[in-house]
Amino acid sequence: MSIKNHSGVLHELSEKETEELIAKFDRESNVRRFSGIHDYIVKGLLLLFTGYVFWVTLIANLPEQIRRCVFLGILIFIGYILYPIRRGMTKKENRIPWYDIVLGCLGAAAFFYYVVNFQAIIGRAVLLKPLDIVMGITGIIVLTELCRRVVGIPILVVGAGFIVYAFVAGFSLKRVIHQLFYTTDGIIGTPVGVCSTFIVLFIFLASFLEKSGIASFFIDLAKSVAGFASGGPAKVAVIASALSGMYSGSSVANTVGSGSVTIPVMKKTGYKPEFAAAVEAAASTGGQIMPPIMGAAAFLMAELTGVPYPVIAVSAILPAALYFTGIFLMIHFEARKLGLKGLPRESIPHFWKLFRVKGYLFLPIVVLVGFMTIGKTPAYAACAAILTAIVVSMFRKETRFTPATFLEALANGARNTIGVAMACAVAGVVVGIVSLTGLGQILIAMLLSVASNSLLLALFLTMVACLILGMGIPTTANYVIMATITAPIVVRMGVPVMAAHMFVFYFGIVADITPPVALAAYAGSAIAKSNPIITGMNATKLAITAFIIPYIFVYSPSMLFIETTPLEVIQIIITSCIGMFGLSIGIAGYMVKPLRVFERLPAIAGGLLLIYPGLITDIAGFGLIILVAFIQIMSYRVKAG
């Protein structure tokens, strides 16, 4: 991979430099590096965890409390070995401070204490013994400290605030500890349950796909499809990042991974650094809303809403398509405005030749979708897709798994699970306190009072809460918290459950590109050597549809294919695409020539009207866009003539 340095000279970005850049913006990647016997020991622990995951998924039939406690106990011990107390301490290899070993042992002991004494604790219910309370407190403290190291402080502030509220509301220490540590309404609640059942397997699948070389295949595929077009490198970035983002689950990691290749090429083509970095950040962030995988939060949505995961994936197709269509069109018109060309013909792979040679790398995703379509569980489908990835990797020497790469894929999958699991566990604290205190009903009453039964105001306040929370909290935890607190409020106002949950899901994701804390945009700016704030603003502009579409599918759930007909679906697709055209030329300020203010405003208005499903809005929106297009074409002909 290549990138320009400060002097403008192109140089290779090594794997180590890429890892350091990811670690700078993604706390979950800030791990200790080991060598020699220490590396073998750590990988052995990760493989032990991997073995437990597949054993408990495919063979064992353990009570949920035991399965989840063992899951967290192993991860906490490994987590303290991998994650230092603060950033900047990862360079010292083969050294683990004594206090991290002690903390790891204490945390694991607390959760295994529950496992060993499971029947007795269940029998005692809320009548906990002093040792039960001590072990519960120990487990909560050690878990939250590891979460701070892996995820960050903001999520702990939220969790601590809810715990303080429980004490203020008059609940005793014993009652709070019982709720948070010894019931499936707290730390080992639904989020950890879903993480240990489904999410972990999809993280392993992502690790195997990455090792199979599918990321480079996606980039080559994107080049063959869009590399020749105006501003081709930026369009390549959108397609490649959308495909890679399906399985990566991390906006920052996806931005750095594919951006290390695409951003320098975009700059060389003529895009400004701030725009090049913004394209990559916006596309990489949108990968988390891209079916069929959609990141970890989609599995939680299935559990919390009771809607089968395949239905959620299908419902997300049109909004995701509109999101990327919007980015693609704005890139196109920006390229036309700047007069940018595509990639040189000799650097563009032949589509059919590429697909014939490497198209088999798509098979794991095809298997995944196929198994879920015929009714298999996500866990079963993920296992089948992992097995397929291993098999198809054997087709060619350059993608073939060796014993070393196979074990490394397993170890990486286990390592990548730690951050998601810790975020889910602390999100369970919020869920547990809301369940214990009835805080959810109080918040519903408060927001309904503030909103004065105005759905639009309630949605706006929910959006702001999601964006603020998402500035420091991973998508998974953000979704769980907002689905627990605000989604029921929106549902109470008559919005379908799916639309309400998808609303908070979307705004939790776009927080990664929304200033002032836009981690994906900042990661892209580090590669492009651009201004981070301007990069974030450009990314927000490119992803503007992500701020509009959630409101539309709340007011018109047919966009999510809820209670609609095939004819209505076709109409929505056609009008929405035309609407994205109008919105894009209005925001970019260019069609065949620069748009003036009196042209841009009708174009934006027409685009919004067409995106919103409805016959009257479609007619009005279509008329406005036709008017703008007519003025543009006539002005261009007059000028050319």
Alpha carbon distance 421, 426 (integer Å): 9
- Report residue 626 as tokens: 């036709």
Residues of the chain with pLDDT under 50: 1-12
Give the C-alpha separation, 233 to 163, whole Å.
49
Q: Are 284 and 245 in contact (CB under 8 A)?
A: yes
Q: Which of 382, 1, 538 is nearest to 219 (CA)?
A: 1
DSSP classification of residue 401: P
User: Which tokens belong to 369?
Assistant: 């979708």
The DSSP code sequence of 84-143 is: -SSTT--SSTT---HHHHHHHHHHHHHHHHHHHTHHHHHHHTT---HHHHHHHHHHHHHH
Which token pair is 618? Answer: 């479609």
**pTM for the full predicted model:** 0.82
**What is the DSSP code (8-state) at residue 489?**
H
Residue labelled with tokens 């809460």: 465
pLDDT tens readout for residues 415-441: 989 988 998 899 899 999 998 998 877
CA–CA dist 60, 67 (Å, integer): 9
Q: How far is CA 110 from CA 102, 193, 459, in A?
A: 12, 18, 41
Give the start-to-end residue ranges of the domains of the chain. 565-641
Alpha helices in 486-614 (DSSP H): 487-492, 497-510, 519-528, 532-542, 545-555, 566-588, 597-611
The tokens describing 220, both together, are 């080559």
Residue-level pLDDT at 2: 42
Q: Which helix (H) or strand (E) holds 552?
A: helix 545-555
pLDDT tens for each residue of 271-319: 888 888 888 888 888 877 887 767 667 778 888 888 888 888 888 888 8
Helix, strand counts (H, E) of the chain: 32, 2
Please tell me the distance from the alpha carbon of residue 443 to that of residue 370, in angstroms, as a whole number: 41
For residue 60, which phi and psi values (nearest 5 degrees)?
-70, 160
Q: What is the pLDDT of residue 453?
A: 73
| Residue 481 pLDDT | 84
